[in-house]
Chain A
Amino acid sequence: MISLLLEFFSDGFLLKHAFRATILLGTVAPLAGCFLLLRRATFLGVALPQVSAAGMSAGWLLLEAGGQCTAAAAASGQGGAWSSVFSLLCALLATLCALLVLAWLEQRSGGAADSRHGALYALAGAATILLLAYHPHAESIFAGLLRGEIVAAGPGELRLVVVVLLPAAVVLALFRHEFLWAGADPGFMAAAGRNVLLWNSLLLGVTGAIICAAVYITGPLVCLGVMLLPALAAHGIAGSMRTFFVLAPLLGLLGAMAGFTVAYLKDLPTGMTIVAAHGVVLVLTKLAGGLLRRKKAKRNTGLDA
């Protein structure tokens, strides 16, 4: 196992870019998942990757219409650096527009956020399919997007992901207290003189950027899995906010590396194997969490007696 890991980390490894992107995504995406989980906005975590995918589809078609490259080449990362940046920007733009509309609707009509997120998911899913409906290679593009084949990531994709994910991780870590309390007790934060709207907007912007980068290299389904499953697993066993925010990226890294290894050894689809590995980690942490709680209850009963 050690020699396999050393091979993955070596410069000569054929899939080194995919492996590095997997590690980075597995570590950073759960941080965004933590905030979505705490704010009970997991449905937003489902809808936004789909919006991002729709934006990316629009970007591919625009590239083709502009004669830059075919949508299929852009979708498979063969369209050059410009097409990669352009499709990522389209995904980001679509995500930010969706967030702005959601914020406006929230301000205007309050309540029923879940139904708005559900509607957004349905509309974005339909838009992704409709945008590519008349494209000759639509089926293969959809399949690639849904399978989340991270092994296709090359140096350009890795560079883009690094440029987005590392600053996002720094912002989330640096301002975690502001992001936490803007969700937990906005009243206290506002009374203390902090601009809650500003901090919520920054968090949504950073989350949107992480989602776009994740969708760009793995597709919407894997993005959702790597973002939410480790956060859910960490929440089940963490005893404090600090351990929650340390455990989530660690479990994300563990699941991503385990999934990548199994996919490599058994020649399985990488993205889905990573999600499955996160699922196994989640089940194990649930079992561990149950045991810990039982032990704690027994200890408390002993103390009471």
Chain B
Amino acid sequence: MQPLAIYCREASFGYPGHAVLQNITLTLPAASLVALTGDNGSGKSTLLSTLSGLQPLLSGELGFDFGDTPARKPRIGIVSQRDKLDDLYLFSGYDVVLAGAHFAALPGKPVGKEAHARVETALAQTGAAGFARRRFSELSGGQRQRVLLARALVLQPDVLALDEPVSGVDASSLEHIATLLEALHKAARMTILLASHDPALVARLATHRVHLSDGTATITTLK
């Protein structure tokens, strides 16, 4: 997979009538692991969801650089905060991960053996295979997070975007997630965006930090 660089020029992020971040110009290098830091309400989730295509850019330019390969719409694997799935949905952990395979295929097309194999691999990668058959709503916070990470990986994303992936998770899940992100970044050379409040995690993993404060963004190279 070709690593992907992300750039924005004089870009404003936020909601119609309320810009959270204004005139941001920065480049997130290909195959970097970028930590988005800042206080609550500083715009980390807004920036992440705009980069992921979930909300429109208010103004300016946002683009993806595919290097030598032809440009196309990038596939973003987003790991949202773990409590966002309504308990009414009777999904098992496996069902949640399989959704990634469904979205990698054509709509309405049943997923084949190869997709199931990819699901099993992702579950093994994230250490979620042991509890994947249990109901998603019955899993602990850390277990849910590992399942959601596996789902994003099954999608075979160009960019992985994680919103507070370790807040409130147990020590074992935290270690698993951190080790996996390190491996994905170093071995698979995947571009990873990580919104986090955890300074230890940022120091351990991030190659770059984008600090958000008072509507501005400052990028620092860490490694």
Contacts and interface: CB of A to CB of B under 8 A. Distances in A.
A40 interface: yes
A193 B155 CA distance: 10
A16 B161 CA distance: 57
Contacts of A190: 52-54
B107 A191 contact: no
A163 interface: no
A266 interface: no
A187 B103 contact: no
Interface in A230-269: 235, 238-241, 243-244
Interface stretch (B2-10, B76-84, B117-125, B181-189): B76-84
A235 B107 CA distance: 26
A301 to B, nearest CB: 15
Contacts, number: 76
Interface in B155-193: 155, 161
A241 B49 contact: no
A190 B73 CA distance: 12
A192 B151 CA distance: 11
Interface residues of B, number: 31
A37 B90 CA distance: 12
B92 interface: yes
A174 B108 contact: yes
Given A188-B78, A191-B76, A193-B73, A239 B107 contact: no
Contacts of A37: 88
Interface string B33-58: 00000000000000001001110000
Interface in A144-193: 174-175, 177-178, 180-181, 184-185, 187-193
A177 B91 contact: no
B100 A187 contact: no
Given A190-B52, A241-B90, A241-B95, 8 more contacts: A174-B108, A181-B102, A187-B84, A192-B76, A192-B77, A192-B155, A238-B90, A240-B92
Ranked 8 nearest A-B pairs via Cβ: A192-B103, A191-B78, A191-B76, A191-B52, A174-B108, A177-B102, A184-B89, A241-B90
10 contacts: A177-B102, A178-B107, A184-B86, A185-B85, A192-B76, A240-B91, A240-B92, A240-B95, A241-B89, A244-B90
